[in-house]
Structure 1
């Protein structure tokens, strides 16, 4: 009888031990389900309604999407995103790869230099935007300092120039993120088989050929990861733009994220704002889903 009771107690203990992780994680899972995926679904629903200052549920079909793509401000935001996103991704990958190759040469003080490169990533985009706003301001920043040194003809007023302002966003974003991309490429470089590289060197391969034909092709996973992360950050960029240019001059640096906020909370066009948010989500999904699928297929 004692053995039977002990066996039941053991099975009860096993059940509790198996169920405990689920019980601990269930509140977090419920919160994520409601406040992330629930609100995504709610935003999708609002994009098909006549919501303005407050949510309403008068169904208007695709009207908000038609209005959205007819707005000049949305066209400017999409164009700016194309410029910003393409330059941001390409320059970050180029600088990150060059810095990673430099650090992979086992130079002195590698740990200190790596920390310096990574430090900007520890800052928020608000801090980065504010700092670069001061640095690029013609009245107190780089232009004023250079002119105080005697070069009176020096001009660098991109932040006030409607045609060049978008490139100041690129400069600030690249400064903050290139160190993070460097860390990703450095991890990839440290995982490459050194025997293959030594064999190529013995065969007389130059350093340039070694990196072009052996090293860089093996960094494909790092390139893909960097592309996904940077594209995601570019699409949802909001705080950097607000801190650096405020979307100006005029709408010169407007991006979809700032457009969505202004139309939802400033212009009281919640339906159009929700439609722009859905378009942003679909864009991110178009990037993420193929990447996740390729990763899962490679693992299989």
Structure 2
């Protein structure tokens, strides 16, 4: 972490979205962080603080990440946009010598490898976090441990109805961690038949992932492990987006001291 006289300068892309608003608020509360740029698709030319209800912050919204990076001269880009734009935004940041901290999922393994290479070439750190909630990261770590002993598992993830990707990045990361700890095992009856296509959810290494999208939800996940005469349920619930802010803050602080692209907040924690 930088000292009081040398705050970490940050540009936020997606600054007027629900996560972006909480992130801007968090930055303004922390003395060692400083907002120097804000990107959004609308309200160009307006003060970001006025738009989100904080009062004037002296940072004008722009719809161009390139101009925000040039004008803001940040150390870190926090990108909270969409899967369609995140790769381009990360490339722009890395080319400008700016460390990306990304809360948007949807990148392929090959894209992540390519971005990691670009970070290392520029001696920069970068972080992609499928979930910034510390409790969700712990849930994923516990699921990984449980899979060694209870290999029959299903994942149910539940999010608000405006989420663009399914399954969620958290569910996919959980599935990845579980897959490292168990051999592939096709679950359910061998003659099982889906009466309605998709009723059994997405398939991953023999187990299933189910996605629920409803208004009123924020971000929730259950990992269910079954065994003879027993059921283990691991569940995490984010009631509001403030729950993600300690993880965002941790990522911003840690990315200053890392090289290469890190995937998953658990890699910044002592788990």
Class of the TM-score when normalised by the shorter of the 2 chains: under 0.3
Structure with larger RCO (C-alpha < 8 A, sep 6+): 1
Structure ranking higher in helix proportion: 1
Report the TM-score, using the length of structure 1 for normalisation.
Answer: 0.23
Q: What is the TM-score when the length of structure 2 is the normalising length?
A: 0.25
